[in-house]
């Protein structure tokens, strides 16, 4: 399991056996997405719970690395963390 996946699971209180919902659509999340992407100038320092969100593959493909969705994804994730 990747380091950022472990950080997300621990930070959000999930176990690897739990159903983890996509933070956008509520379907089954299969990816832990870096909101501030490591591949777009970020670094491993981006592996912190505030920068990680669970997404299904469709939402990850549709919204994940699209710059104009970054703020929207951040807002969704911040609301999820406050719950």
* Helix residue ranges, H only, 1-83: 3-12, 57-59, 70-82
User: For position 83, what pLDDT does the model report?
Assistant: 75
User: For position 44, what pLDDT does the model report?
Assistant: 60
Q: What residues make up the domain containing 40?
A: 3-82
Q: What are the residue ranges in the chain where pLDDT is below 50?
A: none
Full-model pTM: 0.88
Backbone angles phi, psi at 20, to 5 degrees: -110, 115
Question: What's the total number of domains in the chain?
Answer: 1
User: For position 46, what pLDDT does the model report?
Assistant: 80
- Tally the C-alpha atoms within 13 A of residue 38's C-alpha that lie toward its C-beta: 12
């Amino acid at each position: 399991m990747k380091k950022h996946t472990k950080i997300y699971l621990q930070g959000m209180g999930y176990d690897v056996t739990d159903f983890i919902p996509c933070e956008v659509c509520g379907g089954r999340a299969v990816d832990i997405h870096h909101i501030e992407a490591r591949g777009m100038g970020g670094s491993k320092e981006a592996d912190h719970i505030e920068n990680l969100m669970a997404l299904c593959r469709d939402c990850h493909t549709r919204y994940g690395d699209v710059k104009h969705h970054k703020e929207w994804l951040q807002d969704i994730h911040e609301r999820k963390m406050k719950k």
